């Protein structure tokens, strides 16, 4: 990243890494902003060199130097810069970017199960609804056992290829002790969906996880204008993931990679502000008579996981409303600053009803309650957000009573 021995002596702080990572080659290129290489194909110096490079990348390796990029489905320098930057933030050897978070999850499942003769997955709920549905469907040829956090070891078998957890969990912000799950899993790789926490608040690989997955659509992009996924991991794991990406074509477009790389530079300041606002909104909701329960990391966390494995609670909140689905419907229809929409992690605040939308495909016994709404807190002034929720909840009271 920065080629200076004096700076290497003391590890750079995440805020500095976020600005500078993945940009080491820009000075030699004579540019200040990262360039966007939109080439779908690349000139080849000769047949043998091109063929050898193609074979390397098709099997998950890197391109050969001096004209070895060959084809954008296999490698793109703009995507590679973003991958390098994300890996540095996650304290990982490598990262691999995909066309969506679900494409990333699909590659992780395939590369660790059927591709290596393993056919079982152990997963801890709650999970993002798309992930839960994919695992439960068996679509990729692997069978999934869902269990509680402390039951992982009891469900491992010789053909278990992967353990999947998400913490904080979607949508109710459940926390999972990553180190404890890793200890239970033993030699079985653990994948942690780190989307809600981001690399700024949590680094699962430091706790023994094999993979840290992000729906980069969310906080990493941060502006609601790109869909992508990325997995931070060791280089051998990255090679397996890149092989799946090359075969399935789940590549990230270079323009998306550019937007994500640009988004990383402001991620620390966005997360700091959004988290501070979320703390304020969560505390206000907890005192409101229309709210039965607030879900936010640190509230009711008697295990101390927030200071132990996280550096803050993040910017997501879930709330259980006393008057059930009718209240949720009235609230989502009455907000003015919050946008009623799925997704999360952008600069503007969103609210949605998980049971009806993102978690609709989830099995009934694991689906969040109809009385729960999920809020993604943006960069607006928190007092303005509170006023919006106050007027919306007042309308709720008028509708349900």
- Does the annotation count 52 as an active-site position? no
How much is the pTM?
0.96
User: Quick one: average pLDDT of 122-146?
Assistant: 97
128 assigned to active site: yes
Tell me, what's the pLDDT at 322? Answer: 96
- Say what angle helices 101-112 and 129-137 make with each other, to 10 degrees: 30
The half-sphere exposure of 226 on its side-chain side, counting CA atoms within 13 A, is 27
From 199, 192, 167, 168, select the one nearest 14 (Cα to Cα).
199
pLDDT of residue 170: 96
**pLDDT for res 125:** 97
Of 9-13, 43-47, 186-190, the least confident: 9-13
Please tell me which residue in 132, 174, 177, 193 is annotated as part of the active site.
Answer: 193
pLDDT at residue 366, rounded to an integer: 87
Which of 25, 37, 73, 323 is catalytic? The answer is: 73
| Over residues 178-193, mean pLDDT | 98
Do the beta carbons of residue 395 and residue 326 sit within 8 Å?
no
Phi, psi for residue 208 in degrees, rounded to 5: 105, -5
The arithmetic mean of pLDDT across residues 66-74, rounded, is 94
Question: For 149-172, what is the mean pLDDT?
Answer: 98
Res 284 pLDDT > 90? yes
Q: What is the pLDDT of residue 367?
A: 93
pLDDT, mean over the chain? 96
Question: What is the Cα–Cα distance from 221 to 3, expressed in whole angstroms?
Answer: 27
DSSP state of 64: P
Average pLDDT over residues 308-321: 97
296 counts as catalytic: no
Statement: residue 1 has pLDDT above 60: no
The strand pairing partners of 270, in sequence order, are none
Catalytic residue (one of 118, 120, 218, 245): 218
What percent of the chain has pLDDT above 70?
A: 98
What per-residue confidence (pLDDT) applies to 4?
61
In the prediction, which pLDDT does 3 show?
57
Q: Which residue is listed with tokens 């409101």?
A: 288
- Helix (H/G/I), strand (E/B), else coil: 66: coil
Question: Given this model, what pLDDT does residue 300 score?
Answer: 81
DSSP state of 11: P
Rounded CA separation 282/261 (Å) = 30
Residue 2 has pLDDT above 60, yes or no: no
Which tokens in the block code for residue 288? 């409101």
Residue ranges of domains in the chain: 5-264, 268-400
pLDDT digits (tens, 9 = 90+) for 222-263: 999 999 999 999 999 999 999 999 999 999 999 999 999 999
- For 5-264, the fitting CATH number among 3.40.50.150, 3.50.50.60, 3.40.640.10, 3.40.50.12780 is 3.40.640.10
Examine the pLDDT at 370 and tell me if it is beyond 80: yes
Please give the pLDDT value at position 302. 73
Q: How many CB atoms lie within 10 A of CB 5?
A: 6
Topology given in CATH for the domain delimited by 268-400: 3.90.1150
CA–CA dist 355, 217 (Å, integer): 21
Close Cβ partners of 245 (under 8 Å, ≥ 6 residues apart) = 96, 98, 103, 107, 251
Q: Is 187 exposed, middle or buried (0-12, 13-18, 19+ CB in 10 A)?
A: exposed
Please state, in angstroms and rounded to a whole number, the distance separating the CA atoms of residues 299 and 62. 45
Q: DSSP for 164-193? A: EEESSPTTT-----HHHHHHHHTTS-EEEE
pLDDT higher than 80, residue 6: no
State the catalytic residue, choosing from 54, 71, 128, 219: 128
Q: Which residue has the higher pLDDT, 6 or 172?
A: 172
Coil vs helix vs strand at 325: helix
Q: Which two tokens stand for residue 326?
A: 């009718």
Does the active-site annotation cover 132?
Answer: no
The pLDDT, as a whole number, for residue 5 is: 63
What is the rounded distance in angstroms from the CA atom of residue 377 to the CA atom of residue 360?
22
Mean pLDDT of 64-87: 96
pLDDT tens for each residue of 197-229: 999 999 999 999 999 999 999 999 999 999 999
- The Cα angle at residue 65 between residues 62 and 68, in degrees rounded to 5: 70
Residue 333 pLDDT > 80: yes
């Amino acid at each position: 990243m920065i080629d200076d021995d004096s700076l290497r002596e003391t590890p750079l702080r995440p805020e500095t890494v976020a600005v500078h990572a993945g940009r080491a080659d820009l000075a030699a290129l004579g540019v200040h902003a990262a360039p966007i290489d939109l080439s779908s194909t690349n000139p080849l110096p000769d047949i043998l060199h091109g063929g050898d490079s193609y074979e390397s990348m098709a099997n998950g390796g890197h391109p050969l130097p001096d004209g070895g990029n060959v084809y954008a489905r296999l490698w793109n320098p703009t995507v590679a810069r973003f991958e390098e930057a994300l890996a540095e933030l996650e304290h990982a050897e490598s990262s691999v970017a995909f066309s969506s978070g679900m494409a990333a999850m699909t590659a992780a499942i395939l590369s660790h199960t059927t591709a290596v003769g393993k056919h079982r997955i152990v997963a801890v709920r709650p999970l993002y609804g798309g992930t839960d549905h994919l695992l439960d469907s068996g679509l990729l040829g692997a069978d999934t056992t869902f269990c509680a956090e402390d039951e992982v070891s009891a469900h491992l078998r010789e053909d278990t290829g992967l353990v999947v957890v998400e913490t904080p969990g979607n949508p109710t912000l459940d926390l999972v002790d990553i180190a404890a799950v890793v200890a239970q899993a033993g030699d079985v790789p653990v994948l942690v969906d780190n989307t809600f926490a981001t690399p700024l608040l949590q680094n699962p690989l430091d706790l023994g996880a094999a993979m840290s997955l992000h729906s980069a659509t969310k906080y990493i992009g941060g502006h609601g204008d790109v869909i992508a996924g990325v997995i931070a991991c060791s280089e051998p794991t990255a090679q397996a993931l890149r092989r799946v990406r090359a075969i399935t074509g789940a590549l990230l477009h270079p323009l998306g990679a550019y937007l994500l790389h640009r988004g990383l530079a402001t991620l620390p300041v966005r997360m700091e502000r959004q988290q501070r606002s979320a703390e304020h909104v969560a505390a206000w909701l907890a005192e409101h008579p229309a709210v039965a329960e607030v879900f936010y990391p640190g509230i009711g966390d008697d295990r101390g996981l927030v200071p132990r494995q996280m550096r803050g609670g993040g910017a997501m909140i879930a709330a259980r409303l006393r008057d059930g689905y009718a209240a949720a419907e009235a609230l989502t229809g009455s907000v003015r600053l919050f946008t009623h929409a799925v997704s999360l992690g952008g600069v503007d605040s969103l609210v949605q009803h998980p049971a009806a939308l993102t978690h609709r495909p989830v099995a009934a016994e694991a689906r969040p309650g109809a009385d729960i709404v999920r809020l993604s807190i943006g960069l607006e002034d928190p007092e303005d957000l509170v006023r919006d929720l106050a007027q919306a909840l007042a309308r709720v009271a008028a509708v349900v009573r």
